[in-house]
Chain A
Amino acid sequence: GAVVSQHPSRVICKSGTSVKIECRSLDFQATTMFWYRQFPKQSLMLMATSNEGSKATYEQGVEKDKFLINHASLTLSTLTVTSAHPEDSSFYICSARSRAGGSYEQYFGPGTRLTVT
């Protein structure tokens, strides 16, 4: 149980275009989903927290107009990187927290490798 999927697993796009990444909880309802960036051999950087049906909460320094997050249902959150630039190239990971209980525990997706050329 507690499986999170991400799509696509890898995407290459041209500078200036937008890219959408989907995060789905497959076998549970996710009250909250989190979006992270992970740089090579570095830790996770939390970008934003999204709660179903409400606006995402962005971490300091993360541009909300550039990284659009939508959490339309209890099983789906999307991250859209708008007007992508090469410096946006990174590994984007989502995680989801189960609706049940008050635990902090998060279940992670496999990540999406974004390359902006």
Chain B
Amino acid sequence: AQRVTQPEKLLSVFKGAPVELKCNYSYSGSPELFWYVQYSRQRLQLLLRHISRESIKGFTADLNKGETSFHLKKPFAQEEDSAMYYCALGAGNNRKLIWGLGTSLAVNP
């Protein structure tokens, strides 16, 4: 079954601390994984995609096929990183995304 699991509903860290938002997936094919972010009162926007292997706003995410994980990391969290983060898996012929339940990140001053 195709599934995305984000085990933490809420993650609270202090400014400057490292942060890791966990994402595990279940998919029999070759996965295409994304992290989307939703800041307060804003639309969902793409943060990272695994095929780009890029760093956006200091965030990185590495696909680990052995552990079927795509955890999102940032070494030093900032207050403006406070948002809802969703991990998503691309699956199916109609190119739909399978979504995790999201993790709310709160970065405290």
Contact = CB atoms under 8 A, between A and B. Distances in A.
* Interface majority SS (helix, strand, loop, mixed), chain B: strand
B83 to A, nearest CB: 13
B32 interface: yes
Contacts, number: 51
Nearest to A93: B44
Contact of B96 (A34, A102, A110): A34
B34 A104 contact: yes
B99 A104 contact: no
Interface residues of A, number: 23
A51 B49 contact: no
- Interface magnitude class on chain B: 20 to 34
A60 interface: no
A57 B43 CA distance: 24
Interface of B: 32, 34, 36, 42-46, 49, 86, 90-91, 94-97, 99-102, 104
Shortest 9 CB-CB distances between A and B: which pairs? A104-B90, A108-B44, A43-B101, A110-B43, A49-B94, A108-B43, A43-B102, A44-B99, A104-B95
